[in-house]
Amino acid sequence: MNKVLFHLAFPVTDLNEAKRFYVDGLGCGLGREAPFSLILDLHGNQIVAQLTDQPPESQKGIYPRHFGLVFTSKADWQTLVDRAKAKGLRFYQQPRLRFPGTKLEHATFFLEDPFHNLLEFKHYTHESAIFGEREDARVGDRVAKPSG
């Protein structure tokens, strides 16, 4: 199969502010620009900032909506942590380790863009956890509500 790229469109209310966060801050490549959108290269994936007059509301937690990247290199993940700190980006959750000592162990952090979009960046200690380790049903920090 030929290379397939991920594509995601997300709302913003100011294209210049979006450029400052995504290009100057995160280091995304800048693609085509239109009066209503920006095409951005997020580590080889296409994300598109779409101008809207109704931005998403600030969430009360990371669920149900966020997007981001899974790094296969811990060094690359750490480079982005360092860049985000140096550029003064807003951390929604500071870098930390989830599920330490298990097959699901991963380093993670969340950023919040100026439009309340949440972005997660993580690196799994065991690459098998990216799509596997199905016998462990934990996903994130969400706790299931009891039924009934």
Name the nearest CA neighbour of 126 among 107, 148, 139.
107
Q: Are 37 and 50 in contact (CB under 8 A)?
A: yes
CA distances from 136 to 99, 106, 108, 140 (A): 11, 14, 19, 12
The pLDDT of residue 110: 97
Which class for 36: exposed (0-12), middle (13-18), buried (19 or more C-beta within 10 A)?
exposed
Enter the pTM of the model: 0.89
What tens-digit pLDDT sequence spans the chain (148 residues)? 788 989 999 999 999 999 999 999 999 999 999 999 999 999 999 999 999 998 778 888 888 889 999 999 999 999 999 999 999 999 999 999 999 999 999 999 999 999 999 999 999 999 888 788 777 766 766 655 555 5
User: Looking at domain 7-129, which of 3.10.180.10, 3.40.47.10, 3.20.20.70, 3.20.20.140 is its CATH number?
Assistant: 3.10.180.10
- Write down the H helix ranges in the chain: 15-19, 74-86
Q: How many other CB atoms are found less than 10 A from the CB of residue 110?
A: 19
Q: What number of CA atoms fall less than 13 Å from residue 136's CA on the CB side?
A: 14
Q: Are 120 and 68 in contact (CB under 8 A)?
A: yes
The pLDDT of residue 1: 79
Q: Are 49 and 22 in contact (CB under 8 A)?
A: yes
Query: Which sequence spans correspond to the domains of the chain?
Result: 7-129
Which class for 99: exposed (0-12), middle (13-18), buried (19 or more C-beta within 10 A)?
middle
